[in-house]
C-alpha cells in the first residue's frame, strides 16, 4: 500500500515552504525517523524525517521548488503504477508534468475569456471593453513587444496611437516618463522575506498602532555595565540589560502581558521577550523565555546562542514562535529614534536607539548626560494610553536606576 509524504507544517505561521534539497532518491529504502529532505520555512532551513518506512518510488516535487503548500504530497513510498488519487497534484508524475498541466489549464481558461476589444453596438458605434491585459495580450506591434520584454516596459501604461489603439514604436517615447530602466534586475524573495512582507502589511492594516516615546538617562546603567564586565569573563552588552529591564517592566505591568485574538483577549502567564535579529534574508525574532526570572549573564549567553543559530538558519520553531513582547535595537547603526511594527500576535514592541551624549540642564547648570530614546508601539485594541505609558515609564525608571535590576539578577557577583 502506497504512502504519501506530505509537506510538513514546521511552524504555526507556515503555509508553504521551499523544498531545498532531497537527501534520498527514487529507489532508496527509508525507515521511520530517517532524514529525507531539507525544507526552507518562513524562518529557517530545517530537516524533515520520514514518518514511515518503505521504498521511495516517486519524488513528486523536485528539489529547489519554491512555495510548496503545506500538506501537499511531495513524494510517495511503496507506490504502484495503478495507484490513483483524487488530488490533482497526486495524479501528476513529476513537477514538469504538473507545470505542463497547469499551463494547459491556463491556456484553456484564456481561450474561453472574451478578448473582443471592439464590439458594434446597436447604434453602429464602436465601444471598448476595458480589460487589463498583460504585455503578451495587449495590442502592440511585434517589435514593440520585443523591446518591452527586453527593457522591462509595462505596456499597460502606454496609450497606443496605431490602428485600433495598437502600440507602435513612436509610442515608446513615453517610457522615460514612467522611469523604466533597461537594466533593472528582478529576483524572487526568500521565504522569510515573503512572510515579512505579508505579515507586516496585514499588521499595519489591521492593528491600530499608537506610539509613545521617552528619553532616559543611562549614566548609571553604563557605569553598572562597566563594573560588571570588569568582574566577569562573559561580557554583558547594553542590549542584554535592556532585555532584562523590559521583562522587569512588564512583570510590574501584567495588564500589558496580553494580546488580541479573534475578538478575545489572551492573558499570558510567562514573560517571553522576542529579540529582533537582522539576517541577510530578512528579520527573525528568537525568544528569551521567562526573561524576568533570569539573570543578566544567563540572558546574555542565551542571546548569543540564539543569534548564532539564527545566522546559521538552525533555530527550532519553539525558539522563535510566541513571545509576549518584542524589543528592536538599531542603536549599533547610529539610529537615534524610530518606531517599529508590532510583531503579531503580541500587543507591543519597544524600539530603542543609540545612546548619545546630550547637554542637559540640571539645577540651573548645563551637564552632559548619556541619553537613550525609546519608542513603544502598542495595540490600541488591548492597551490604552495610560497602561502603555506606565510600562514605558517603569522601563525608564529601571534603566535610569538599575540597582534593583542588578540585585534581582541571581547570577551577578557583588560589585
* Listed residue (345, 293, 303, 348) closest to 325, CA to CA: 348
CB-based contacts of 318, cutoff 8 Å, min separation 6: none
Q: Helices 238-252 and 385-400, interaxial angle, to 10°?
A: 130
d(CA 140, CA 171): 10
To the nearest 10 degrees (0 to 180), the angle between helices 238-252 and 219-230 is 120
The Cα 109–Cα 112 span in angstroms is 5
Count of beta carbons in the 10 Å neighbourhood of residue 150:
9
Q: Say if CB 1 and CB 82 are below 8 A apart.
A: no
- Its sign, for the CA torsion 183, 187, 193, 194, is positive
Helix or strand run (H / E) with residue 375: strand 365-379
Beta bridge partners, 6, equal 73
Exactly one of 380, 381, 390, 393 is catalytic; name it.
Answer: 380
Peptide bond into 345 cis (omega under 30): yes
Per-residue DSSP letter, 182? T
Selection from 88, 73, 85, 7 nearest residue 42 by Cα: 7
**Strand 3-6 versus strand 73-77 pairing type:** antiparallel
The three cell numbers locating residue 247: 521583562
Cβ(288)–Cβ(243) under 8 Å? yes
Helices 219-230 and 385-400: crossing angle in degrees, nearest 10, is 50
Cα distance between residue 395 and residue 155, in whole Å: 54
Stretch (H or E) spanning 359 = strand 356-362
Q: For this structure, is 209 an active site residue?
A: no
d(CA 109, CA 128): 22
User: Which positions are catalytic?
Assistant: 380
Amino acid at each position: 500500500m502506497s504512502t504519501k509524504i506530505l509537506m510538513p507544517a514546521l511552524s504555526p505561521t507556515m503555509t508553504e515552504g521551499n523544498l531545498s534539497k532531497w537527501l534520498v532518491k527514487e529507489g532508496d529504502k527509508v525507515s521511520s525517523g530517517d532524514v529525507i529532505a531539507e525544507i526552507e520555512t518562513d524562518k529557517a532551513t530545517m530537516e524533515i524525517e520520514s514518518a514511515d518506512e518503505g521504498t521511495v518510488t516517486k519524488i513528486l516535487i523536485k528539489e529547489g521548488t519554491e512555495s510548496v503548500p503545506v500538506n501537499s504530497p511531495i513524494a510517495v513510498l511503496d507506490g504502484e503504477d495503478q495507484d490513483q488519487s483524487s488530488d490533482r497534484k497526486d495524479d501528476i508524475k513529476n513537477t514538469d508534468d504538473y507545470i505542463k498541466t497547469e499551463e494547459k489549464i491556463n491556456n484553456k481558461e484564456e481561450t474561453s475569456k472574451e478578448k473582443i476589444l471592439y464590439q458594434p453596438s446597436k447604434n453602429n458605434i464602436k465601444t471598448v471593453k476595458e480589460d487589463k491585459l498583460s504585455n503578451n495580450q495587449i495590442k502592440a506591434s511585434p517589435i514593440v513587444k520585443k523591446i518591452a520584454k527586453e527593457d522591462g516596459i509595462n505596456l499597460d501604461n502606454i496609450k497606443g496611437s496605431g490602428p485600433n489603439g495598437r502600440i507602435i514604436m513612436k509610442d515608446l517615447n513615453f517610457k522615460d516618463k514612467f522611469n523604466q530602466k533597461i537594466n533593472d534586475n528582478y529576483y524572487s524573495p526568500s521565504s522569510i522575506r515573503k512572510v515579512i512582507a505579508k505579515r507586516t502589511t496585514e499588521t499595519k492594516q489591521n492593528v491600530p498602532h499608537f506610539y509613545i516615546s521617552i528619553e532616559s538617562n543611562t549614566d548609571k546603567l553604563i557605569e553598572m555595565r562597566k563594573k560588571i564586565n570588569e568582574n566577569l569573563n562573559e561580557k554583558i552588552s547594553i542590549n542584554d540589560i535592556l532585555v532584562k529591564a523590559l521583562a522587569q517592566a512588564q512583570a510590574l505591568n501584567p495588564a500589558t502581558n496580553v494580546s488580541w485574538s479573534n475578538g478575545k483577549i489572551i492573558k499570558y502567564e510567562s514573560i517571553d521577550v522576542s529579540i529582533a535579529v537582522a539576517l541577510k534574508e530578512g528579520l527573525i525574532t528568537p525568544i528569551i523565555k521567562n526573561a524576568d526570572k533570569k539573570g543578566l549573564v544567563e540572558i546574555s549567553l542565551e542571546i548569543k546562542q540564539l543569534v548564532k543559530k539564527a545566522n546559521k538558519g538552525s533555530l527550532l520553531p519553539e525558539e522563535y514562535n510566541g513571545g509576549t513582547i518584542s524589543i528592536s535595537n538599531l542603536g549599533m547603526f547610529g539610529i537615534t529614534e524610530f518606531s517599529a511594527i508590532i510583531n503579531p500576535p503580541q500587543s507591543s514592541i519597544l524600539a530603542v536607539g543609540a545612546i548619545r551624549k546630550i547637554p542637559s540642564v540640571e539645577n540651573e547648570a548645563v551637564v552632559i548626560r548619556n541619553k537613550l530614546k525609546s519608542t513603544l508601539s502598542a495595540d490600541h485594541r488591548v492597551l490604552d494610553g495610560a497602561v502603555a505609558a506606565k510600562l514605558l515609564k517603569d522601563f525608564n525608571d529601571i534603566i535610569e536606576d538599575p540597582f534593583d535590576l542588578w540585585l534581582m539578577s541571581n547570577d551577578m557577583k557583588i560589585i
